[in-house]
Structure 1
């Protein structure tokens, strides 16, 4: 850890020294400008350029932070989840596209596209997996870490706003081809996946019907055997195009289209372990994971400018993703092979997930009169997320007898699982700006959202009836035992948690389910007043009315929840322009944080090393936020800023380890209060320029100090309800850090830009990131916190854009190939419970623009 901190300190000292050395005193250019009367200059502004983004940041009364498409292209960043981590105070959660911002994770953040909320593509998350959104189809990603009443009130970390690209400029058509390899995957002589899914990831494995189970018994069509994959090489193909059309004397239609398909193979191996309160393992496994993912995306953006006063925009976006994981483990499972000297447990788990997400938006901007402007935006989103045919097997291999058999004590050890989540989401914004005078503007608005979620899941447990050693079992193909002949012979039964499908099919085949309706109505008012040439303030208030109804029938409980919340959310934003290049900003606000659906639903969600379940008694927390920021804009395209911020949280929500024989976690309002204090530094600066060559940097760092109360009595009292169940926790401390918060985050980027000829350019960017330790889940008694250890990441990208339209890129990702390690921080010392490396990824891409 000391080595990591020293490395970071040296990097920041070097970069800071370069900034100081490179800085030259600039005169105030504004005072030297001459006014030219009667001249109007019209032109298209590239929203994604660094200079435009920083200029908007300088002028805006609200605190805004954006990462533009031009910067992302230079760094070779292909998805929004990585793009967000280039902003100050953001970190990406390992193994997902979810991000933590200012130490606060998924439930504390919100995601919008063009200002409208979009649904998560996975029931275990509140926000969409940002890694499935491609950066080629956006103008910029905005991080709104300071609240204003126009934003939806359900946020405490930040709102991530993905702004889709509006085409400007000359007509073009561009083709992108790319290929890369994960060195972990390509080194495997045999790469395996499960049977059923195909290359493009569109195959839907349909759950057998109830009648087929009743009439035919064993009716699963896909094989239990692994399927070998040749040449696990990543590939990508994309096209994008743009064109404008003049309509009449004043109208202009702008068309932008984007389509892509890419896939990726990955492999990792390492340990997976869970321990009891004494530190003794309940599972001690070495495992391998083969993974394959696909992403198919299409976007069409139509922007129709009727005239100078009226503008309409239509965005339609379809994203299909698929993910396969084949995991194989061997070692010790306490409930399976107690005799470790003669036996080893063997666990196989194959998981297939598909997501279909449709995002449709129609918006308008209208100047009604000179002082009155009207803005509206409506959207319809639909998500179809499925886990079809997840397979799991657990068997035992006896060394002395050279035989394989099942441990019959757990009927759920061998199962096939199907689930489906369908969400329909209707959202809308409407607000009007009225400019009373040059110094006074009033904004009034309404936000509305109606979201329906329908989730169903069935796990078919294959209960073994045959005695060990009386049957043949091949662990390379569990279909050697689980087949229709053995089922008809009575060697195993198919049961669910509701019963045996052979004897009680009507009840047994009823799926676990939950159904949710969420209605959110909000009105807001905001006054912006320019007190002087240098001092501007915004004062606003938002009223949120939230109504959530849920009906559930699961293996844990049946019931329903009907909760209503009303929130009054004031916000104050002040900006003082010290001079043309320096701003001081101060903001205070109140927001709230709602738990996500699966944190409330009493449904068990099982992974190999963890089981999580929701808490119907969970309720929103209230957040009080304050920010103080200084910004310095040395010259066009440059900014240096320092921010101090604090948050006071009432009834914070946290993931906790609960009292159970398994490694189970749940979600509770863990204490009365929590606090977050932090400081951020951001630098975007040209270090050296000579002719057409430029060396530049953009770096940021965040320090966090977090704390929350931990109360066993509060959790026990609040979860003892008629519609829930008592959750038992026993934290070893009365206070601890916030779950998910890292003490220190840093991003250091150094870039070299070279231009020659008419339109030839080269960009070389090296990117380094550091994330310090953070708590994954609060511990139980001697069974301490689950902690994700610090990691350091290094990427490098070189891109050539030539005047003949050809582009070439070379990339190296995850070059340090760090170990991703999670430990159980027990009272008698750390126990490693996860440890693996993702592998270095080397890639090359070619593009041609017509």
Structure 2
């Protein structure tokens, strides 16, 4: 065997779980991008030169076009767009050193990353954010969400990321906090070949104790080699809700998916990638191709604690080791002729998490230790395989005064989780040992789940320049989106005939012997559909949207620019579950107006005012009445089929001073009124202290706040030293203050526990004045660095702070629970990038250090009084360090 069997160490674990925790964001998650050229300076002014930023977004006419106001050319993308945007170019992304786009985006003003790659804009949850790829929507591989987790996108395939915080009619109406539009790389300027790799370690994970299991020989790639193939009899038993007999149960893979090992040599993180591109001119057409692929392996161990801090007997400790394997590939074909561009983009991302978990402590009813041993011991082995594929065809045509954009896409996401195994042992003082009798609180379960989602999307945008003596453009467009999802989760319990207890010595066996062919056949053990898995086993969901818009943009007076438009959307949404659970059918249409006024009152300064109305639809999983266990938080979620659309009114005022190229100071104030916001509500399961999370519409909520941003370069040539002649100081800082309040009176709303049959006053679920779930009052980002303007040489320190935010609010009635609160705290990172030329290639070496402050992940509830603080999911985060090397020819 590789290492000592973990089950043999379970007894020692009950007194001391001595595994380290791990980082929340792993080092080396993706290799460094190909060696970048150094930031250049303008030859005439000596100021930083304008970066070329490639953006492909909804709406004809081009977000990246220059405009002329009062005779002055304004080339900066952030300034020239009629809306409030933040843009990360390829160079901006590279400076952060992040391996995925979610990490890079958390440096943008007002943005924070919650969970695994879900971006919150100004504290609004991920349901209020919209993610697009080249202006087209994407389906999600996550059961709990409709939005795509952005940590699956390596920065190496992204040319730019645009965040628009004010709504305009050319974007989809589900625009609560903002839209994040990712643009992939298209036709290269010249031929290149790039290759790179990195290796990293985590002080809480690498070469420390973790828990792993065999699985299959291809697990390191993230692909199952057949050990987890789901037999047909399992699917049929899940559909029919019938028992699987012993004769079939023995055919399931056993030891490879149920034996947990101690591993004191968790390997380092590593990654590698290669890309190439070329272009050729044929007649008046430039044809190009860009292709790339990458693989990364990262490890994270968490030693998480849950329980009341001042009552040690309530503690439950669980050590989780995640092995994440990510494979990605991009193939882009492009053609440019005249002012026209066509691009075909094919993107493939395969992201797998292999997870081993071992825990011990008290259970839902806070059982006391027995003979100094934890009363409960639990083991889980999981495999979560996510896949995203999209093929997009975009044509951007410029016919002089008329611009035409045509977009079409097919996308598919899958999430497969076969062989989710769970074992629960109880300590028996009469034999001084742990037993699993397969009844009476001890159990062995196995679950199989599968999600498949298809999305078809298309649209056409027209823009016509009106020759009125001033720049005026009229735009119109149509968009179509059809999404369908099928999902099932079949859970089975290993049980004895008649529900009797498994006798000794079988009940004292480790998991693989407990479920061996001999044990199953000797005792007649069968697989019965789980009685604890309530709700629907499966559901089908669909969302179809038709939208049209008209928008007028132009300079209505010297220095005064206006954009006004309206979008009409009609949508049909349905979630149809099995098992006689209530279905959801929503059919709504909306008129969504938007207007932005920009006053360029001085050569380098302008004011913006924006007003709009937008919506947020409930996500499929929020509607599906099906139990789902989130293994990251160890919380159970259950959908509410009676949720309604949320409607938002948005107001913003903004001051901007562009005192030099790519340098600015901005300040903004914003207000949002949300009718029927969807909130996560936690409550205690009847008869125990276990927590479950459901969803409910609050009557109303308000969000308001302000943000400031500074981007400044300071040449260091005044220092009398040759080293600083071509170097400059880079200062990028932003701060966002936001405050939200929920308002609830005696209005009757659907009860989050029993929405089909119970209504209750809203103030029994929500407390007026409490913040929205996920909203932090304070967000601070600071980048301070030194870089060379003539060659690649950068040293950047990155500081990030987010104040506390609610993960879920507590249901007030029935005893009441305080909200579950996350404390993100302070993080300090550094990135060192140095370029050099060797063997005819441009080389880059990159050093990274993450979470230098050693900030812990803290999640808790404050019960007050004698109980005090109870941790719900708290663990140490490691400091991570990585080194990468890449080259470009």
TM-score normalized by the length of structure 1 = 0.87
Deviation at residue 602 of structure 1 after TM alignment: 0.2
Q: 1:220 to 1:572 in 2, by over 3 A?
A: same
1:668 partnered with 2:702 = no
1:819 partnered with 2:856 = yes
Aligned ranges for residues 65-80 of structure 1 at < 5 Å?
65-80=86-101
Q: Which residue of 2 aligns with 1:569?
A: 592
SS at structure 1 position matched to 2:748: helix
SS at structure 1 position matched to 2:875: strand
SS at structure 1 position matched to 2:94: helix
Q: Which residue of 1 aligns with 2:418?
A: 388
How far apart in 2 are the matches of 1:189 and 1:588? 54
Q: Which residue of 1 aligns with 2:473?
A: 441
How far apart in 1 are the matches of 2:561 and 2:139? 35
1:767 partnered with 2:801 = no
Q: 1:491 to 1:794 in 2, by over 3 A?
A: farther
TM-score normalized by the length of structure 2 = 0.84
SS at structure 2 position matched to 1:180: strand
Contact 2:210–2:301 under 8 Å retained in 1:
no
* Number of equivalent positions: 787
1:431 to 432, 453, 461: 461
1:377 partnered with 2:407 = yes
How far apart in 1 are the matches of 2:754 and 2:521? 45
Contact 1:174–1:239 under 8 Å retained in 2:
yes
1:481 partnered with 2:519 = no
1:835 to 867, 871, 874: 874
Deviation at residue 439 of structure 1 after TM alignment: 2.9
1:239 partnered with 2:274 = yes
Alignment deviations for residues 174-229 of structure 1 (CA, whole Å, 9 cap, x no partner)? 11011111121124156524534611111162222218945533322142112566
Contact 1:180–1:235 under 8 Å retained in 2:
yes
1:415 partnered with 2:445 = yes
How far apart in 2 are the matches of 1:360 and 1:80? 20
Contact 1:177–1:237 under 8 Å retained in 2:
yes
Alignment deviations for residues 348-396 of structure 1 (CA, whole Å, 9 cap, x no partner)? 112210011101100111234x322111100000111111111111102
2:561 to 536, 546, 561: 536
SS at structure 1 position matched to 2:219: coil
1:199 partnered with 2:229 = no
1:598 partnered with 2:626 = no
Q: Which residue of 1 aligns with 2:650?
A: 625
SS at structure 2 position matched to 1:321: strand
How far apart in 2 are the matches of 1:734 and 1:577? 41
Alignment deviations for residues 789-846 of structure 1 (CA, whole Å, 9 cap, x no partner)? 2411111111111133221111111211211111112243332222102211110011
Deviation at residue 44 of structure 1 after TM alignment: 11
1:655 partnered with 2:691 = no
Q: Which residue of 2 aligns with 1:460?
A: 492
Q: 1:45 to 1:164 in 2, by over 3 A?
A: same
Q: Which residue of 2 aligns with 1:266?
A: 300
Deviation at residue 708 of structure 1 after TM alignment: 0.7
Q: Which residue of 2 aligns with 1:17?
A: none
How far apart in 1 are the matches of 2:112 and 2:392? 29
SS at structure 2 position matched to 1:735: coil
1:358 to 375, 389, 394: 389
Structure 2 spans left out of the alignment, 5+ residues: 1-43, 56-63, 67-73, 237-243, 718-724
Structure 1 spans left out of the alignment, 5+ residues: 1-27, 30-42, 500-507
Q: Which residue of 2 aligns with 1:680?
A: 707
1:119 to 130, 139, 146: 139
1:188 partnered with 2:208 = yes
Alignment deviations for residues 696-740 of structure 1 (CA, whole Å, 9 cap, x no partner)? 111111001110124575334799776x76689844733311111
1:321 partnered with 2:351 = yes
SS at structure 2 position matched to 1:479: helix
Q: 1:647 to 1:44 in 2, by over 3 A?
A: closer
Deviation at residue 247 of structure 1 after TM alignment: 1.4
Contact 2:844–2:887 under 8 Å retained in 1:
yes
Deviation at residue 314 of structure 1 after TM alignment: 0.6
SS at structure 1 position matched to 2:557: coil
Q: Which residue of 2 aligns with 1:102?
A: 122
1:63 to 72, 84, 104: 84
SS at structure 1 position matched to 2:506: coil
Contact 1:552–1:558 under 8 Å retained in 2:
yes
How far apart in 2 are the matches of 1:624 and 1:162? 26
Q: 1:336 to 1:632 in 2, by over 3 A?
A: closer
Contact 1:655–1:665 under 8 Å retained in 2:
yes
SS at structure 2 position matched to 1:78: coil
2:669 to 641, 644, 649: 644
Contact 2:437–2:507 under 8 Å retained in 1:
no
Q: 1:60 to 1:200 in 2, by over 3 A?
A: same
Deviation at residue 474 of structure 1 after TM alignment: 5.4
Alignment deviations for residues 294-351 of structure 1 (CA, whole Å, 9 cap, x no partner)? 110001122201323x321110000001001211111111469556456521011122
Contact 1:403–1:469 under 8 Å retained in 2:
no
SS at structure 2 position matched to 1:169: coil
Q: 1:186 to 1:717 in 2, by over 3 A?
A: closer
Q: 1:54 to 1:799 in 2, by over 3 A?
A: farther
How far apart in 2 are the matches of 1:341 and 1:578? 77
The structure, 1 or 2, with the larger RCO (C-alpha pairs under 8 Å, 6+ apart) is: 2
Contact 1:404–1:474 under 8 Å retained in 2:
yes
RMSD between aligned residues? 3.0
Deviation at residue 762 of structure 1 after TM alignment: 1.2
SS at structure 1 position matched to 2:476: strand
Contact 2:314–2:366 under 8 Å retained in 1:
no
Aligned ranges for residues 785-800 of structure 1 at < 5 Å?
785-800=819-834
Contact 2:681–2:752 under 8 Å retained in 1:
no
How far apart in 2 are the matches of 1:410 and 1:427? 51
Q: 1:121 to 1:451 in 2, by over 3 A?
A: same
